[in-house]
Amino acid sequence: MSGVDSLEECYGDKSHKIKALETGLSSDPEMNWRVSSLDRLALLSNSDSHSPYPHRLGREANVFNLKEPSYRELVNAIVSKDPSKFLMTIEVDPAYGKYHWTGHRRCGVSMPPEEAMKRGNKCPVCGRQLTKGVMQRVEELADRPKGFRPPNAIGFKRLLPLAEIIAECLGVRGETRLYSGRVWELYMKLVNSFGSELNVLLNASLEELERIVPSKVAKAIIRVREGHVIVRPGYDGVYGKLILDEEEPARPADRRGQTSITDYLLR
């Protein structure tokens, strides 16, 4: 919430009509759980649809188990937050988002909330105001500690875009790396073999993946699925970066609130 600290401050006497919030690419349910005023709301994770590039589509999703694919059933599942109907959300790791940490793109400066607040949100290079990240905004609004999970909260699963994983494994660099022919050759092999990007990221076994793509790519997909990766946080319009070289200093993925895919497949 930019410029306001609550839904009530923004929408006044109409705020009670709001039943759900979309978490955005730079945050996830675990971050929002720290703000108790959001407990009554369902937390959704919807994918961008304004980009013409396939790797920007379908990055996040909501997983439902409905009697029928109707508007009424969908709304009821969201509003009731019934875990037998609203199973989970699929989240891009929030560190991958373009505004996760506080920073200044022009100077190549980024930092976690604690450091930014110590510096008075001033860029240590040029002295200008830093662009405040979502993580810092959560710290300002939070009335609960990190790792808090409300009772009966809808679970979630963190992933990263398949094209990003492939590009990192192939060592493709530069701003156009996700459009590389080498990346898309492997991407299409996987999607054609397993039906969808999400099926590749969530369900394909290591053995199945290794029959289609190099072992390094297959193992990286499994590492992302299991949360055994590091993401250098995005800031001030710069996307975060997947780090497969564990020696490079970066933010380790925190999976305390994450739902295992089997948590809902076995229901």
Region 116-143: mean pLDDT is 95
The three-point CA angle 111-96-233 to 5° equals: 15
Region 240-261: mean pLDDT is 56
The three-point CA angle 161-49-169 to 5° equals: 15
Q: Given this model, what pLDDT does residue 179 score?
A: 82
Please provide the DSSP assignment of the chain as one string.
Answer: --S-SSHHHHHGGGGGG--EEE--TT--HHHHTT-GGGTTSEEE-----S-SSGGGSSSSEEEE--SSS-HHHHHHHHHHT-TTTEEEEEEE-GGGSTTSBEEEGGGTEEE-HHHHHHTTTB-TTT-PBPBPPHHHHHHHH--S-TT---TT--EEEEE--HHHHHHHHHT--STTGGG-HHHHHHHHHHHHHHSSHHHHHHT--HHHHHTTS-HHHHHHHHHHHHT--EEEPPBTTBPPEEE--TTS--EEPP-TTPPPHHHHHT-
55-68: per-residue pLDDT in tens? 777 789 999 999 99
Q: Is 183's pLDDT higher than 80?
A: yes
Q: Given this model, what pLDDT does residue 49 score?
A: 67
Q: Given this model, what pLDDT does residue 266 score?
A: 35
Residue 8, both tokens: 């009530």
Q: Given this model, what pLDDT does residue 187 score?
A: 95
Q: Is 235's pLDDT higher than 50?
A: yes
Q: Given this model, what pLDDT does residue 176 score?
A: 80
How confident is residue 2, by pLDDT bands cut at 50, 70 and 90? low
Q: Given this model, what pLDDT does residue 177 score?
A: 82
Mean pLDDT of the chain: 88
188-231: per-residue pLDDT in tens? 999 999 999 999 999 999 999 999 999 999 999 999 999 999 99
Q: Would you kindly state where each structural domain of the chain is located, as residue ranges?
A: 1-97+118-160+253-266
Q: pLDDT exceeding 90 applies to what percent of the chain?
A: 75
Q: Is 26's pLDDT higher than 90?
A: no
